[in-house]
Amino acid sequence: DVKVTQSSRYLVKRTGEKVFLECVQDMDHENMFWYRQDPGLGLRLIYFSYDVKMKEKGDIPEGYSVSREKKERFSLILESASTNQTSMYLCASSLGSQVGSPLHFGNGTRLTVT
Amino acid sequence: DQQVKQNSPSLSVQEGRISILNCDYTNSMFDYFLWYKKYPAEGPTFLISISSIKDKNEDGRFTVFLNKSAKHLSLHIVPSQPGDSAVYFCAAKRVNTGFQKLVFGTGTRLLVSP
């Protein structure tokens, strides 16, 4: 069974801090994704990666960056946290580009920026 | 611009009855659709999908219907069970994009009461 692990369930950070959210998957998936979930807005794609050291902007990349140095690990970086980045962050992975390959999500990191 | 819309933020049904969750999309290029279920404090999990070459896909108690002309899909749960209480997200993608870049709706919270 695919396991996507996000290192923190809850984080509280101050405005201006640099924040790292870590995600690890154990099924050798090529694709990895970072979403944020906000009430009334659903899941919105921040960044994704289809290979090591490759990254693509999603729909809302502003204020974020990512790092994928190893296939199993995908990190989301908030360079200077702001209160509007308070949200639930969800990491996901999928196998290749097959149409029927669903996303497998981690349990999320609830980030509060004060 | 919300390309995938779930206009009902919540739905309440009684155990044993049918639950119908609706989803509309605006991008006619979408050709693959998925439903995810999300429990509190967990990541979304894949439920069922449908390709645009079909108008119905069934998996046990869950059936997804696709009406391409109306750009509308629905998820039917029969019979509904209390364990089905969760937030349901529909999602859509264009197959020829090559990557699993899904566009999610805003979600519908389903409550099934005993």
Q: What are the structural domain ranges in chain A?
A: 4-113
Supply the pLDDT for residue B97: 64
Supply the pLDDT for residue B101: 75
- Provide the CATH number for the domain formed by A4-113 in this structure: 2.60.40.10
CB B91 within 8 A of CB B84: no
Report d(CA B102, CA B43) in Å as an integer: 15
- Residues paired with residue A13 on neighbouring β-strands, in sequence order: A113
Q: Which amino acid makes up residue A52?
A: V
Exposed, middle or buried: residue B31 (CB in 10 Å: 0-12, 13-18, 19+)? middle
* Cβ-based contacts of A55 with chain B (< 8 Å): none
For residue B29, the Cα-to-chain-centroid distance in whole angstroms is 18
Selection from B45, B64, B35 nearest residue A103 by Cα = B45
- pLDDT tens column, B33-76: 999 999 988 999 999 999 999 999 999 999 999 999 999 999 99
* Cβ-based contacts of B6 with chain A (< 8 Å): 42
Q: Is the pLDDT of residue B98 over 60?
A: no
A81: closest CA of chain B, how far (Å)? 23
Report d(CA A37, CA B89) in Å as an integer: 11
User: A34 φ, ψ to 5°?
Assistant: -120, 125
Supply the pLDDT for residue A10: 95
Q: Residue A78 carries which DSSP code?
A: E
Q: Residue A50 carries which DSSP code?
A: S
Q: How many CB atoms lie within 10 A of CB A12?
A: 10
Contact A105 B45 (CB under 8 A): yes
Question: From the list B9, B91, B99, which residue is nearest A48 (CB)?
Answer: B99
CB B18 within 8 A of CB B77: yes
Over residues B73-101, mean pLDDT: 88
**What is the rounded average pLDDT for all residues in chain B?**
93
Supply the pLDDT for residue A102: 82
- For B95, nearest residue in chain A (alpha carbons): A99
Supply the pLDDT for residue B43: 92
Task: Enter the tokens of residue A38.
Answer: 């906000």
* Cβ-based contacts of B43 with chain A (< 8 Å): 4, 90, 92, 105-108
- pLDDT tens column, A19-68: 999 999 998 998 999 999 998 888 999 999 988 988 999 989 999 999 99
Question: From the list B49, B99, B104, which residue is nearest A100 (CB)?
Answer: B49
Contact B43 A44 (CB under 8 A): no
CB A71 within 8 A of CB A93: no
Does the domain spanning B4-113 belong to CATH 2.10.109.10? no
- For B7, nearest residue in chain A (alpha carbons): A40
Top residue of A10, A51, A99, A110 to mutate, by most chain B CBs within 10 Å, is: A99
Percentage of chain B exceeding pLDDT 70: 95
- pLDDT tens column, A68-101: 999 999 999 999 999 999 999 999 998 876 666 7
Question: From the list B34, B41, B95, which residue is nearest A102 (CB)?
Answer: B34
Contacting B with CB below 8 Å, chain A residues are 4, 9, 31, 33, 35, 40-45, 48, 50, 56, 58, 90, 92, 94, 97, 99-108
